[in-house]
Amino acid sequence: MVLLGSTGSIGVNTLEVAKKFNINVEVLVAGKNIKLLNEQIALHQPKVVVISDKKDIKEVKHTNVFAGGENILKVIEDSTSELVVNALVGFLGLGPTLKAIECGKKVALANKESLVASGNFIDMSKIQPIDSEHFGLWYLLQDRPVEKMIITASGGAFRDWDINKLKNATLADTQKHPNWSMGQKITIDSATMVNKMFELLEARWLFGEGKYDAIVETKSLIHALIDFKDGSTTAHFAHANMQLPIAYAINEKMNENILKHVDLLKIGSLEFREIEKERYPIWEIKEDLLSNPNRGVVVNAANEVAIEKFINKEIGFMDISKTIVKAYEKYFHEPQSVEEVFEIDREVRRSI
């Protein structure tokens, strides 16, 4: 396999699965965590390594190291692996997804921005989602008429906060996720609920037109539900561990134990909550975005810029959602090609 984003949580879990099933790791692509990358190189012996910053090449314990986005595309093109696991964060991940598909490779996709920004121009037959929510929907789908697909959210760092205090939330506050530890950006996205908006949009591209929604499930044990037209509802329970969807991306006929089963008696009870617009203002544009999914590129670009400004203390936490909604209301143009996706992305970023 080619693994993009090897030092993040998804990358680390992917390498655990690769070790379990003796999968050859041909390429490792990582960011700035060179210490962990060197440990991965020693264990998995990749042929090629790519990092983000050229000045760090001398620190990497490998004889075949490159740096930068263009080299990510080149190693994908040059690789013999049939599977590319894309666990990169942000719009940076779109180019590699497109390149992998162009090269006829299967993409195990955790990079949300690929489908959010450019879903209309991606061959879904080449995509195997490894987000737990989309994996859950895929796992539950049967040959029966579907009424609605539902994914779950943890609620993020501020699900129990007094709404009036949110305007004063700091970057450190956003990182206090109630259920697990993730990277900085995705934890902020969880707090704003942008992460779940993106996942709904991804589901729309992956599974086609239909009704989609999300609810808060505070223990993160149910990842997806499907309401069937006959009145029944099924739910996908599993401990929150990315190794399960990753294992199925490697082998769809997975018949080995990957996780411990959820013990309902130990859990005792579950709590469900509505996603409220007062706490998560981004939810105001949910229905319109799902009806106009090609405008996801606007939402993604505005979100990435707003997060950067929030990190730099130029705007407050609640201004992240305000910035996105303002951009969404301003830019109505829908891209007609991949080239226009990149043009709109640049235009939106310049305007904020």
For 258-276, the pLDDT digits (tens) are 999 999 999 999 999 999 9
Are residues 44 and 92 part of one domain? Answer: yes
* Mean pLDDT in residue range 174-178: 91
Residue 173 and residue 341: Cα distance in Å, rounded? 33
Query: Are 28 and 150 part of one and the same domain?
Result: no
CATH of the domain at 71: 3.40.50.720
The string of pLDDT tens digits covering residues 82-92 is 999 999 999 99
279 secondary structure, DSSP code = T
233 and 341 housed in the same domain: yes
Per-residue pLDDT of 85-111, as tens digits, reads: 999 999 999 999 999 999 999 999 999
Mean pLDDT of all residues in 209-221: 97
% pLDDT > 90, the chain: 93
Residue 77 has pLDDT above 90, yes or no: yes
Residue 5's pLDDT band (boundaries 50, 70, 90)? very high
Last residue in a domain, options 129, 148, 172? 129
Q: Which residues pair with 83 in a beta bridge?
A: 106
Alpha helices by DSSP H, listed for 69-183, are 69-78, 94-102, 112-118, 132-140, 171-174
The reported pLDDT for the residue numbered 76 is 98
Q: What is the pLDDT of residue 183?
A: 83
Helices 243-250 & 9-20, crossing angle to 10 degrees? 50
pLDDT attached to residue 142: 87
Q: Which residues touch 15 (CB under 8 Å, ≥6 apart)?
A: 3, 6, 25, 40, 43, 44
Tell me the two tokens of residue 195. 């992460």
pTM of the entire predicted model = 0.93
Q: What is the DSSP letter of 64?
A: S
Domain end, chosen from 76, 105, 129, is at 129
Matching residue, tokens 């993604």: 300
CB count within 10 Å of CB 305 equals: 20
Residue 297: give its domain's CATH number: 1.10.1740.10
Residue 132, pLDDT > 90, answer yes
The set of residues, in sequence order, having a beta carbon less than 8 Å from that of 310 and lying 6+ positions away, is: 171, 188, 316, 317, 319, 320
| 318-352 pLDDT per residue, tens | 999 999 999 999 999 899 999 999 999 999 999 99
CA angle (258 as vertex; 252, 264 as ends), nearest 5: 115
Instruction: Give 8: exposed, middle or buried? Use CB within 10 Å, 0-12, 13-18, 19+.
Output: buried
**pLDDT tens for each residue of 294-309:** 999 999 999 999 999 9
Beta bridge partners of 88: none
**Residue with tokens 């894309």, as numbered in its chain:** 86
* Residue 176: alpha-carbon gap to chain centroid: 19
Regarding whether 104 and 39 lie in a shared domain, the answer is yes
**What's the confidence (pLDDT) of residue 32?**
94
| Residue 251: per-residue pLDDT | 83
Residue 180 has pLDDT above 90, yes or no: no
Range of the domain at 235: 133-351
- Residue 55 pLDDT more than 80? yes
Q: What is the largest CA-CA distance in the chain?
A: 61
Q: H/E/C letters for each residue in 198-246? A: HHHHHHHHHHCCCCEEEEEECCCCEEEEEEECCCCEEEEECCCCCHHHH
Q: How many folded domains does the chain comprise?
A: 2
Residues 31 and 69 in one domain: yes
Cβ(206)–Cβ(115) under 8 Å? Answer: yes
